[in-house]
Amino acid sequence: MSLGYSKEFNDATRPGYDPDAAESAMRRQKDAQEIEGQQAFQRQLSGASADAGELSRGPGAARQIAEDTARDGEKERKERTDRAVLLDTLNSAQEFADRRAADAAALEDVFEARFGDAWREEIALRVMDADDIPERRPGESIEDYRERLTDELIEQIIDPETGQIRPEYANDPEMSEYAEWALARHQEREARAYIERRSDPNLTPEEQRTIDEKFAATATGNEIRQAAQEAARDGENVNEIERETDSRNDNVTQQASLEAGANSFG
Q: What is the DSSP string of 167-213?
A: HHHHT-TTHHHHHHHHHHHHHHHHHHHHHHHHT-TT--HHHHHHHHH
Q: Which residue has the higher pLDDT, 176 or 230?
A: 176
Whether 83 has a pLDDT exceeding 60, the answer reads yes
Counting other chains too, the contacts that 256-262 makes at CB distance below 8 Å and 24 or more residues apart are none
136 three-state secondary structure: coil
Q: pTM for the complete prediction?
A: 0.62
Query: Cα 4 to chain center, whole Å?
Result: 64
Of 94, 89, 86, 119, nearest to 205 by C-alpha is 86
Average pLDDT of span 73-101: 88
Average pLDDT of span 207-236: 88
Average pLDDT of span 140-168: 96
How far is it, in rounded angstroms, from Cα 218 to Cα 183? 13
| All residues at 6 or more sequence positions from 56 whose CB lies less than 8 Å from its CB, including other chains | none
Of 219, 223, 206, nearest to 161 by C-alpha is 219
Instruction: Confirm if 236 and 230 have CB atoms less than 8 A apart.
Output: no
Model pLDDT, residue 245 = 41
Q: Which residue has the higher pLDDT, 199 or 32?
A: 199
DSSP E strand boundaries for 89-189? 158-159, 164-165
Whether 148 has a pLDDT exceeding 50, the answer reads yes
Model pLDDT, residue 263 = 47
User: Residue 165 pairs with which residues in a beta bridge?
Assistant: 158
Model pLDDT, residue 174 = 85
* pLDDT level of residue 173 (50, 70, 90 thresholds): confident
Task: Give the lowest-confidence range in 18-32, 97-111, 126-140, 205-219.
Answer: 18-32
Q: Which residue has the higher pLDDT, 35 or 176?
A: 176
How many residues are given for the chain?
Answer: 266
Whether 247 has a pLDDT exceeding 60, the answer reads no
Task: Give the lowest-confidence range in 26-40, 99-113, 182-196.
Answer: 26-40
In one-letter notation, the amino acid at residue 111 is F
Model pLDDT, residue 82 = 81
Tens of pLDDT, residue by residue over 22-81, are 566 566 666 666 656 555 545 554 444 444 444 445 556 667 777 777 777 777 887 788
